[in-house]
Amino acid sequence: MAASSPPRRRLPGDLRRRQLLDVSIELLAEGGVQAVTMEGVAARAGVSKALGYRYFENADQLLVALHDREMAEIGIRVRAAMASTTGYENQCRASLAAWLDLLAERGTVIATVMAVRPVSGPVEDASRAIHATFTDYYAKVVAAEYGLSPTLATVASSIQLAGLHGLLHCWINGRMSRRELIDTFATMSAAAFAALADRPPMIGEPSTPIETV
């Protein structure tokens, strides 16, 4: 008589959901977004396809959940770092250090998830929402530190955060050390916000009235 196969281990709901997300990362790294299907995830996790649908309606929802999980971890680390010090420039340095530490730990995972954005509308939407959340958070800090209006602080913070992609490329390509990158970015950011606080003329606005003939 053939030996019966061992019973499938039942996991608590939160652990099963985590397992499905972890499996999705593996499939993304191996075959890109096309490899992340409900059938493929279930097969890799060793569960039925029906079980996967208990946690996610479709593959897009799974990818959004994966993106949100990784971005949430960044948010936790960055907020904790900024709360550990005072003054915008110091907070900028601390938050950048925390971000780079996380990238060193989970850089492959985060890069893989972020690479989904151009080919998945729902993930792109989630990415925009996360960017808006971080922008609002930094804008409150900047407005309080430099006395900027909420609108100006929000616009300037959004531009600053967009610049992090350039910093990341410089770090990956080894153009600067980690410390040099943090120092450069924090110094530039603090100087830019201080300049905005001095209310210089806007681009295209003359500093003195133009005399008419």
Weakest-pLDDT range from 38-42, 64-68, 112-116 = 112-116
Question: What percent helix, strand, coil does the chain show, rounded to 5?
Answer: 75, 0, 25
User: What are the pLDDT digits (tens) for 60-84?
Assistant: 888 888 888 888 888 899 889 999 9
Helix (H) or strand (E) holding 49, with range, is: helix 49-55
Q: Identify the residue with better confidence: 125 or 16.
A: 16
pLDDT of residue 208: 55
Q: Identify the residue with better confidence: 118 or 141.
A: 141
Question: Is pLDDT of 2 > 50?
Answer: no
d(CA 181, CA 171): 7
pLDDT of residue 80: 94
Contact (CB, 8 A) for 82 and 95? yes
pLDDT of residue 206: 54
Question: What average pLDDT does range 109-118 have in this prediction?
Answer: 66
**Residue ranges of domains in the chain, CATH in brackets:** 13-56 (1.10.10.60), 67-197 (1.10.357.10)
Question: Is pLDDT of 4 > 50?
Answer: no
Give the count of beta carbons closer than 10 Å to the beta carbon of residue 167: 18
d(CA 184, CA 161): 14
Whole-Å CA distances, 67 to 73, 128, 136, 164 = 10, 11, 19, 18
Picking from 73, 114, 50, the residue whose alpha carbon sits closest to that of residue 20 is 50
Q: Identify the residue with better confidence: 105 or 44.
A: 44
